[in-house]
Amino acid sequence: MTLLKVLLFVSIVIVCFLSFLIHPEHEPHYIWEKIPVFEAIFGFVGCIVLIIFSKVLGHYFLEKQENYYDYD
């Protein structure tokens, strides 16, 4: 697990570093195209938002026992 963590950390550093080196082929149109690590931030924040939102929605509104729809 520790090895995997290190590997993940190193690869994140590498891809983030690479995005500073490579320049877009066309002029950036949107503000987020100008931020080199935008995708990384978006991925991280988006992931956490999705998990929390979905689990809250499930926990407070939608979760039911597995026999919820059973009838006789």
Partner 1 sequence: MIMIEPVPPFLIYLIGALLIPFLKGKTKKLCLLIIPIVAFIDLLHMHHGTYWTLHFMGYELIFGHVDKLSMIFAYVFVIMSFAGLLYALHVDDDLQHVAAVCYAGSSLGVVFAGDLFTLYAFWEFMAMASVFVIWADRSKRAIDAGFRYLMVHLFGGAVLLAGIVIYAMQTGSIAFGRLEGGGLGFWLILIGFILNAAVPPLHPWLPDAYPAASVTGAVFLTAYTTKTAVYTLLRAFPGVEILAYLGAIMTVYGVVWAIMENDMRRLLAYHIVSQVGYMVAGVGIGTELSMNGSASHAFCHILYKALLFMGAGAVIHSTGLRKMSDLTGRGLYKKMPFSLIFYMVGAFSISAVPLFNGFICKPMIVKAAEEAHRIPLFFLMHMASIGTWLCVGLKLPYYTWFGKAQPGVKEIEAKEPPLNMLLGMAFLSFLCIFMGIYPDILYRILSYPVYFHPYAPLHVIGTLQMLLMTVAGVWLLLERLEPQAVINLDTDWFYRKGAILFVKFCYGLSAVRTATQNLAIGLVDGVIKLSKNPIYAVQSLLSQKESGMPPYDPNTYRQAMGIGVIFSLILFCFICFIFFARLTQLIR
H or E element, residue 66: none
Amino acid, res. 31: I
Q: Does 6 bind partner 1 (CB under 8 A)?
A: no
Which of 6, 8, 27, 34 binds partner 1 (CB under 8 A)? It is 8
Long-range contacts made by residues 12-18, C-beta under 8 angstroms, separation at least 24?
12/40, 15/40, 16/40
Count of positions on this chain that bind partner 1 (CB under 8 A): 40
Q: DSSP label at 35?
A: -
Binding positions for partner 1, rule: CB under 8 A? 5, 8, 11-12, 15-16, 18-19, 22, 24-25, 30, 37-44, 46-48, 50-55, 57-58, 61-66, 68-69, 71
